[in-house]
Chain A
Amino acid sequence: MTCEELIAHLSSYIDHEMDAALVAEVQEHIAHCRNCRVVLDTTRRLIVLVHDEGQRVIPADQRSALFERLHQAFLKRPQASNESAV
C-alpha cells in the first residue's frame, strides 16, 4: 500500500468500515511510515476534539430581544386541548 492509497482509505480505517485484508495492509504500512502514522493519529485526535463540541454563547446584544420574542411566542401559542386560552 502506498501513502496515497493509505490517505484515501484513512477515514474508512478510522470508522471501522474496512475489510480485514485491507486493515492488515493499513497496519503494515503505518508500522513503517512515520508520516502516515502522524496523519492517522492527528485525524483521530481531531475527531475526539470536536465530538459534541458543545455550546455557544449567544451575543449579549441579541440575547434579550431574542428571549423576549421567544417568550411571547410561548405564551401565545395555541391551545392543543380544550383548555381556555391564557
Chain B
Amino acid sequence: MPGPTIELTIYENEEALLAGLRRRDPDSCACLIKRFAPLVYAQAIRLLGDADEAEGILQQTFIKACDKLDTYEGRSGLGSWLYRIATNEALMHLRQRSPHVNLADVAETIQEDEMPHRLTSWTFDPAAAALNSELRMVLEQALATLPEALRVVFVLRDIQGLSTEETAAALGLGESAVKVRLHRARLRLRELLSAYMQEH
C-alpha cells in the first residue's frame, strides 16, 4: 500500500506542524515523515554503510521522536533535532555491533598507503558539482569503502559539521584521535575521488 498523498505545505511552518503533532493529527505525522525521512535515512546510511541497518535506524529515530515530542522544546528546529536523534541511534548501534574493534582499534598515524598519489587538479565548481547525482554516487561509494572508525569521524565532522570537540564527545574519543582520523579519511577520499575526476 503506498503512503498517503500528503501536501507537504499543509502546515504553514514548523510551529504549526509541531502543534499538529502534539494534537496527534494523523496528517502531521505523515508530513513529518515525508519531510524529514530522507534526511534521517541519508545520515544513517552514511554512518552505518548498510541500507538495511539504516532503515532500522530510520524507524527507531521517528519512534523515539514520537516518544519525546511532548518534551521537545523546539529550540533547534525539527530537522536538527531528528538528525541528532538519528546520529545518536546510529552511533549506539555501531557500538553494539562492534564494541571493541571498529570504533576504537585503529592506527592513530597516517599510513604509508594513504600518502597522496594522484596529483591532478579538479576543475569542477564544488557548488555546482554538489548537484551532480553521478558524483554523489561516486562519493557515497567511496565513503562506504572507508573503515568504520574513519568514516564515522568524517561524517560527523565534514558532512554534519560538528566541531572536533563535539565529535570527540559523541564518539568517546580524544580530540587528537578525532583529528588524525579525520585527516586520514580526507586523504583516502581525496585519492578515491581524484581517480574519478581524472576520468571526467
* Chain B window 61-76, contacts with chain A (Cβ cutoff 8 Å), 1 for yes, 0 for no: 0110011011100000
What are 17 pairs between A and B in contact, CB < 8 Å? A12-B179, A17-B164, A49-B126, A49-B135, A50-B154, A52-B159, A53-B42, A53-B46, A68-B3, A70-B62, A71-B30, A73-B62, A74-B21, A74-B66, A77-B66, A77-B67, A80-B71
Q: Tell whether, in the assembled complex, residue A46 and residue B55 are in contact, meaning their CB atoms are under 8 Å apart.
A: no
Q: Tell whether, in the assembled complex, residue A66 and residue B55 are in contact, meaning their CB atoms are under 8 Å apart.
A: yes
Set of chain B residues within 8 Å of A69, measured between Cβ atoms: 59
Set of chain B residues within 8 Å of A58, measured between Cβ atoms: 37-38, 41, 55, 58
Set of chain A residues within 8 Å of B55, measured between Cβ atoms: 58, 62, 66
A86 touches which of B24, B115, B159, B164 (Cβ 8 Å): B24
Interface residues in B115-144 (C-beta closer than 8 Å to A): 115-116, 119-122, 124, 126-127, 129-130, 135-136, 139
A31 in the interface (beta carbon within 8 A): no
Q: Tell whether, in the assembled complex, residue A53 and residue B119 are in contact, meaning their CB atoms are under 8 Å apart.
A: no
Give the B interface residue count (CB, 8 A): 58
Q: Tell whether, in the assembled complex, residue A48 and residue B126 are in contact, meaning their CB atoms are under 8 Å apart.
A: yes
Interface residues in A24-64 (C-beta closer than 8 Å to B): 35, 38-39, 41-43, 45-59, 62-64
Q: Tell whether, in the assembled complex, residue A50 and residue B158 are in contact, meaning their CB atoms are under 8 Å apart.
A: yes
Given A38-B121, A54-B42, A66-B58, 4 extra CB contacts under 8 A:
A17-B164, A46-B189, A66-B55, A73-B63
A4 in the interface (beta carbon within 8 A): yes
Q: Tell whether, in the assembled complex, residue B67 and residue A7 are in contact, meaning their CB atoms are under 8 Å apart.
A: no
Q: Tell whether, in the assembled complex, residue A56 and residue B24 are in contact, meaning their CB atoms are under 8 Å apart.
A: no
Secondary structure dominating the interface of A: helix
**A residues in contact (CB < 8 Å) with B:** 4, 7-8, 10-12, 15, 17, 35, 38-39, 41-43, 45-59, 62-64, 66-71, 73-75, 77-78, 80-81, 86
Q: Tell whether, in the assembled complex, residue A4 and residue B115 are in contact, meaning their CB atoms are under 8 Å apart.
A: yes
Set of chain A residues within 8 Å of B127, measured between Cβ atoms: 48
Set of chain A residues within 8 Å of B3, measured between Cβ atoms: 63-64, 67-68
Q: How far is the CB of B38 from chain A (nearest CB, A)?
A: 4
B107 in the interface (beta carbon within 8 A): no
B48 in the interface (beta carbon within 8 A): no
Q: Tell whether, in the assembled complex, residue B29 and residue A70 are in contact, meaning their CB atoms are under 8 Å apart.
A: yes
B193 in the interface (beta carbon within 8 A): yes
A38 with B120, Cβ < 8 A, contacts A46-B190, A58-B38, A70-B63 known = yes
B39 in the interface (beta carbon within 8 A): yes
C-alpha spacing A55/B194, complex, angstroms: 24
